[in-house]
Each structure stands twice: as C-alpha cells, then as structure tokens.
Amino acid sequence: QVQLLESGGGSVQAGGSLRLSCAASGHIDSHFYWAWFRQDPGKEREGVAGIDTDGITSYIDSVKGRFTISKDNAKNTLYLQMDNLGPEDSAMYFCALGPLATLISQFYVYWGQGTQVTVSS
C-alpha cells in the first residue's frame, strides 16, 4: 500500500520559482525509479524528470537548467525545484514510482493525486 502525496503547487508569475514535494509512505521497492510527470488540459502527459536509487537524474530538454529533481531517502520524499518558470510549465504535476528508468508513463505503478502549478505571464 504505497501512497504518494504531492504538495507545493500554486500560482506564480513568469520567472518565479516553486518547490514541489512528494511524500511517500508504505512499503516502497528500493529499486524503484522516482519521477515527476505533468499534464495540462488538452495536452498529453509528459515525463519531466526522474531519479534512480543512486541519485542519477534525467530531464526532458525543455526543463534542463531550470528544474532540479532530488530525493531525501531518510524522509522518503521526492522534490522538484522549479526555477525561471514560464507559462508553458503550467500543468498538474504528478509524482510517480515505477520499476524502470524511463519517463514513459505507462511503465509507472504508483501515482500521487497531483498538485497544480499555474504560471502567469
């Protein structure tokens, strides 16, 4: 019974920053890959960033240099630091865990409820 709870979303002006958190509870497979996805109405869900058990990270090109994914193993909490936000970053952001090091959503097993990020121009 793994549960993921996102927080930290909100409204911010372009150029601003937000820090998302994903608190995990339950029995978590230590080999699972952690990732952030996002989805805006009318658009497909896309993987944003992922991190493996060794701390190796992966990002989609559009957020490289602006977003930083990290994990606090002691707290079982995943973070996404988002800097220099633009309107194109507006979406519902989801935390997810899965068995493979990929940003393809179909491979993920556990999902949080999402936290909304809105960036105004």
What integer is the mean pLDDT of 26-42?
Answer: 94
Name the pLDDT band for 102 (thresholds 50, 70, 90).
Answer: very high
Tell me the two tokens of residue 9: 């979303």
What integer is the mean pLDDT of 15-39?
Answer: 96
| Strand ranges in 8-107 using DSSP code E only, listed in sequence order | 10-13, 18-25, 33-39, 46-51, 57-59, 67-72, 77-82, 91-98
Name the pLDDT band for 77 (thresholds 50, 70, 90).
Answer: very high
pLDDT number for residue 45: 96
Name the pLDDT band for 93 (thresholds 50, 70, 90).
Answer: very high
What integer is the mean pLDDT of 84-106?
Answer: 96
